[in-house]
Copies of this chain bind each other. A is one copy, B any other.
Amino acid sequence: MSLTNGSPEAAAAAARDASFTLASLPASARNEALDAIHAALTASKDEILAANARDLELARKAAADGTLSQALVSRLDLGKKGKWEDMLQGILDVRDLEDPVGKTQLRTKLDDDLILERVSCPIGVLLIIFEARPEVIANIASLAIKSGNAAILKGGKESTESFIAISQVISSALSKTQVPNSAIQLVTTRDAISQLLSQDRNIDLVIPRGSNELVRYIKENTKIPVLGHADGLCSIYLTATADKHKAAVAIVDSKTSYPAACNSVETLLVQDQALVTIFPGVAAALADKGVTLRLDGPSKAALAGVPLPEGTVQDATPQDYDTEHLSLTLAVKTVSSVDEAIAHINAHGSHHTDSIFTADGAEAEHFMNRVDSAGVYWNASTRLADGMRYGFGTEVGISTNKIHSRGPVGLDGLTIYKYKIRGDYQPTTAYGEGEGKRPWKHERLAF
């Protein structure tokens, strides 16, 4: 790992060069590098926490001045209970995941002595732009090395001291391994983002990890493919056949277990027939957790006789259905059918994760087939949309893209493939239909 104060162009070119070596290292060499990073960070805890303390001091002053949020100060703190240990354990967890590189995906006999293979390989050079949390640097370096990708890291300025300390430790650890030093680079140049985003010749994929504003800025300012989501506007469609009590539990979970998360529910679509049967109980359970409801006419009317804390009931405006509140505010809209719910979700949602609550299996399948989102659920909390929960071990983010990777992206999302052919110099003109031509065998082989 190297610390780049030079030009972003030079960083990208060096990363490209290093990517070829990294891509051809065996899994053992990549895993040894992760062990080395783990050992070095373990040995350097004190100096890294000291650097982190300097970041924290500045951040606390900024928070006292009101120029930085308290939430950000909290995210900066590497000394918080369990955070350091989790960071170290994360490196070992990534090491233990199955190697995503070099997997044969297809093997076809085109002819005798002419074999086609499709083999997974790293994408090349990743640019990862993230905000304050200093532990992300170790996490991302691990994922990149495991997947055989070079990575350029650009972190938020609030964590500069922590990043530099961690990257120096990682750099020194990698120098004793086969992973080239410039395969993982930390760019600390001020305002380097726009220059990095123009390096489409040497950077293959940008992964932003941060606020919606950051992601949107990046998507609008680069020709490099961007993996991620700008918005997480998730919906639940509550039908009259849903289980009354379980539905309330699952909606409370979807809304309140982490309101600022991208997979929290933002819009509740209620079937008109469920307004007086199921919805009041759901509303009461949500209100009990402090949720404010932005209601349309019919749903507001349905709550007329329900005792709810003051302020719970508010009138929805049209923009409530296009807003990712990221807080304890939930927009509620009445619909009369599953097709109306689907149309609303496809038009107003962010194609992230949407769920239907119903006892009718055919209706659920209809919903799951027609809702155009990365996650389509039946009787399940939207909060399930997560790489760890899906069993991927870890994730680099959740994608709402329609190509490459969709939903939670694990190590596989950091790979692509190449086609290998091993032949005996056969001229292609010898093949085809017609006189004197050889037919292609196109025989699928085991792998």
Residues of A within 8 A of B (CB): 19-20, 23-24, 108, 110, 114, 116, 123-124, 204-205, 219-220, 223, 225, 227, 243, 246-247, 249-250, 252-253, 257, 342, 346, 357, 364, 366, 368-370, 372-381, 383-385, 389-391, 401-404, 406-408, 416-429, 431, 440, 442
Contacts and interface: CB of A to CB of B under 8 A. Distances in A.
A108 B388 CA distance: 13
A151 to B, nearest CB: 14
A346 B108 contact: no
Given A205-B403, A223-B219, A380 B419 contact: no
Contacts of A369: 23-24
A19 B402 CA distance: 13
Contacts of A417: 406
A403 B123 contact: yes
Contacts of A381: 423, 425-428
A78 to B, nearest CB: 21
Contact of A422 (B220, B246, B364, B425): B364
Contact of A377 (B383, B420, B440): B420
Q: State how many copies of this chain the complex holds.
A: 2
Given A124-B372, A378-B421, A428 B391 contact: no
A419 B375 contact: yes
30 contacts: A23-B370, A108-B391, A110-B384, A110-B391, A114-B380, A114-B384, A205-B402, A220-B223, A225-B401, A247-B425, A250-B427, A253-B427, A364-B422, A368-B418, A368-B420, A373-B418, A374-B418, A374-B419, A375-B418, A376-B419, A378-B421, A379-B423, A380-B426, A384-B423, A384-B428, A391-B440, A391-B442, A403-B416, A406-B417, A406-B418
Given A23-B372, A225-B225, 8 more contacts: A116-B391, A257-B427, A378-B422, A381-B427, A384-B428, A391-B440, A402-B416, A407-B418
A20 B219 CA distance: 25
Contacts of A419: 374-376, 385, 390, 406-408
Given A114-B380, A116-B391, A440-B389, A425 B372 contact: no
Contacts of A205: 402-403
A200 to B, nearest CB: 10
A44 to B, nearest CB: 27
B416 A406 contact: yes
B416 A20 contact: no
A216 to B, nearest CB: 12
Given A253-B429, A418-B375, A246 B20 contact: no
A422 B375 contact: no
- Cβ-closest 4 pairs across A and B: A380-B423, A246-B425, A253-B427, A391-B442
A381 B417 CA distance: 20
Given A403-B403, A417-B406, A370 B24 contact: yes
Contact of A423 (B114, B219, B378): B378
